[in-house]
Copies of this chain bind each other. A is one copy, B any other.
């Protein structure tokens, strides 16, 4: 009851059960900080506990998304990809050749976005900014 990670205690606070499967999935999302899709998360999860089904991975990801623990992204048109949510806000640059994801943030752009939305009569709920680029020759 006492050796809970911040993520685990957040689940409990939300009134959700802390199952073995959820523990494993949480650990996968917090240990690496890449952007795996559900299948990849399932693959990693099964290594640690072969009883975890893909359906549970999807259900858990949905729950974690709803409690604000993970962010869901849809880069390009492939499957959704996930990352833990708690860190600083950032956007993504995706290498079109390799699929690599580089994170960045620009307070100036954020500010311009709010400005534009306000001019159009809107308040921003969330946004999506993705740059798709190719590595420059050095």
A12-20, A30-38, A123-131 - interface stretch: A123-131
Contact B121 A96 (CB under 8 A): no
How far, in Å, is A128 (CB) from chain B's closest CB?
A: 5
A102 at the interface (CB under 8 A from B): yes
User: Which residue on chain B has the smallest CB distance to residue A115?
Assistant: B106
A87 at the interface (CB under 8 A from B): no
State in angstroms the CA–CA spacing of A129 and B129 once bound together. 5
Q: Which of A5-33 contact B (CB under 8 A)?
A: none
State in angstroms the CA–CA spacing of A74 and B108 once bound together. 25
Q: B residues within 8 A CB of A132?
A: 124-128
4 extra interchain contacts, Cβ-Cβ under 8 A, other than A93-B120, A122-B134?
Answer: A72-B77, A96-B125, A123-B133, A127-B132
A and B contact pairs by CB, cutoff 8 A, 16 listed: A93-B116, A93-B117, A93-B122, A102-B122, A120-B133, A121-B136, A122-B131, A122-B133, A123-B134, A123-B135, A127-B130, A127-B131, A128-B129, A128-B130, A129-B129, A129-B130
